[in-house]
Structure 1
Amino acid sequence: MKQDLRAVIIDDETNAREALSNLLRLVCPEVEICGEAKNADLGIEVIKEQKPNLVFLDIQMPGKSGFDLLASFEKVDFGIIFTTAYQEFAIRAFRFSAIDYLLKPIDPDELQAAVEKYKSQTAGLNPQQIQILQQQLDTPGTVRLVNRQKNDNQRIALPTAEGIHFVQMTDIIQCESLGSYTKFHLIKGPAIVVSRLLKEYEEILDNYYFFRVHQSNIINLEHIKRYVKGDGGQVWMSDNTEIEVSRRRKEEFLSLLSDFYVNSGKLK
């Protein structure tokens, strides 16, 4: 457990800094605010001078971004809780990279939970998580398959009890629901089980070549070997598993599958 929490707030909005500072005094009195900054350059100076345990960092600021600030440090040896006014796709991006965030206006309960989670962590953010987050925020997609991002060269961070696994999207064959958990079946190596609902990964993967064919399964369209017609039908995956397609999802699935083959150059 971490003790003596000293924190810095970096945000270009004065009102946002004041609001967060007041909230911390109210719900997290154990956190000492040792510095504030209104931009990345001043933030770098404050961090180097104060050496805080924890930094509340706004991502989108005039001039240099929060990512630029982090890039200026050879080693990020302080905790980070991102604050952002981003909506919709940004939430997906944070989940994609397994990074916690606080959405403005900041909710007191969420702030308290974020600080408690930081205190219980044994390791800080992995640089790969920040890379994935930045990549996701730089390339927001839409829900139509014709505009979806390709799975190539994309990674996802999967948090488990043992640590965070960084997995290539192309290596994921399917995601299977195990109640409150999701099991990732991969091309090679053991499956990875994550303590998150399949519904959450349905939303996260919605911009890529994945589709929820059934209540229990999300499949990677790139790993389909064949589709067998039926009431809903079945798909045979590259690992020779057979997965049911629900009747109510059949029409949308076949439409998306057709678009996938057209846009990926895999017409048969």
Structure 2
Amino acid sequence: MNQLRAVLIDDETNAREALTNLLRILCPEVTLVGEAKNADLGIELIKKEKPNLVFLDIQMPGKTGFDLLASFDKVDFGVIFTTAYQEFAIRAFRFSAIDYLLKPIDPDELQAAVEKFKSQIAGVNPQQLQILQEHLDTTPSPRLIKRKKNDNQRIALPTAEGIHFVQMTDIIQCESLGSYTKFHLVKGPPIVVSRLLKEYEEILDNYYFFRVHQSNIVNLEHIKRYVKGDGGQVWMSDNTEIEVSRRRKDEFLSLLSDFYVNSGKLK
């Protein structure tokens, strides 16, 4: 697809003008066919223009961007959220594998988001939106003070074949493969995602996952045994053995202790 038809839905006039100018200068392949200042007008605009791509604000007076999407039986257009959310909310977008742009919009990030969409040309899966909303509605926990249990939490893992929706309790470990991350699961083959392990370290930071080594993040639920040593080793539920970095040992053991106290498990 050479030319993209796009609409822009945002209640802030300045934000719409700024994004319009950036698109005209940086993304000539994007034709802006309409704007709307609220969700109701946005719904009408989308039905009329049938765009390939929608730039959508989340927080608007009245209905939210989520409400707008929920009004469609099938979201057969791409969505790039534009939002003023900061910090912990970024983790929510990464959990759901949905594209977003933080305001004020960075020109390089805008170009990258458009290029990524052009390579996919797909609508938004309802499960992605559900995961995003679940995590946006969750208050962040301070690191190592009170982490959330992995129960009933899902993460979206984008691959070349499509998006995989995985229960976090089913993840045994995440392994670095250069610029890729390999997810080892309880059932089925591993899933390889074209993202750095560091990104998933940040995404999983509020849960009982820990980067024990430069190359591995482990799910504490799947640790069968810790073997003492310089840094030590953990034996996982799939019988793999993973080294614990010496400099990460104390923080890891502290979190492991916290996990067993809060889960009611004894080692």
Interval containing the TM-score (normalised by the shorter chain) = over 0.9
Secondary structure, counterpart of 1:207 in structure 2? coil
Secondary structure, counterpart of 1:147 in structure 2? coil
**Alpha-carbon distance, 1:146 to partner:** 4.2
Counterpart Cα distance in 2 of 1:6 and 1:192: 33
Matched, 1:200 2:199: yes
User: 1:18 maps to which residue?
Assistant: 17
What is the correspondence of 1:26-45 to structure 2 with a 5 Å cutoff? 26-45=25-44
Matched, 1:229 2:231: no
Q: Are the equivalent residues in 1 in contact too, given 2:39–2:63 (CA < 8 A)?
A: yes
User: 1:171 maps to which residue?
Assistant: 170
Deviations 1:149-207 (A, max 9, x none): 21111111111122111111000001111111111111111111111111111001001
**Alpha-carbon distance, 1:140 to partner:** 3.5
User: 1:88 maps to which residue?
Assistant: 87
Normalising by structure 2, report the TM-score. 0.95
**Alpha-carbon distance, 1:122 to partner:** 4.0
Q: Are the equivalent residues in 2 in contact too, given 1:143–1:206 (CA < 8 A)?
A: no
| Structure 1 gaps, min length 5 | none
Matched, 1:71 2:87: no
> Which amino acid is the alignment partner of residue 138 of structure 1?
D
Counterpart Cα distance in 2 of 1:155 and 1:126: 14
Q: Supply the RMSD in Å over aligned alpha carbons.
A: 1.4
Q: Are the equivalent residues in 2 in contact too, given 1:59–1:67 (CA < 8 A)?
A: yes
Normalising by structure 1, report the TM-score. 0.95
* Equivalent pairs, count: 267
Q: Are the equivalent residues in 2 in contact too, given 1:6–1:52 (CA < 8 A)?
A: yes
Q: Give the 4+ runs in structure 1 shifted more than 4 A.
A: none
Q: Are the equivalent residues in 2 in contact too, given 1:183–1:193 (CA < 8 A)?
A: yes
**Alpha-carbon distance, 1:145 to partner:** 3.8
Identity %: 88
User: 2:117 maps to which residue?
Assistant: 118
Deviations 1:76-135 (A, max 9, x none): 121111111111112211111111111111122221222222222142222111111111
| Structure 2 gaps, min length 5 | none
User: 2:211 maps to which residue?
Assistant: 212
Matched, 1:49 2:51: no
Counterpart Cα distance in 1 of 2:45 and 2:186: 46
Matched, 1:6 2:5: yes
CA distance 1:15–1:122, shift in 2 (3 Å): closer
> Which amino acid is the alignment partner of residue 143 of structure 2?
R
Q: Are the equivalent residues in 1 in contact too, given 2:75–2:125 (CA < 8 A)?
A: no
Counterpart Cα distance in 2 of 1:74 and 1:60: 21
Counterpart Cα distance in 1 of 2:247 and 2:67: 46
User: 1:128 maps to which residue?
Assistant: 127
Deviations 1:192-249 (A, max 9, x none): 1111111111001001110011111110000011111111111111111111111111
Counterpart Cα distance in 1 of 2:10 and 2:211: 39
Q: Are the equivalent residues in 2 in contact too, given 1:96–1:156 (CA < 8 A)?
A: yes
Counterpart Cα distance in 2 of 1:227 and 1:101: 39
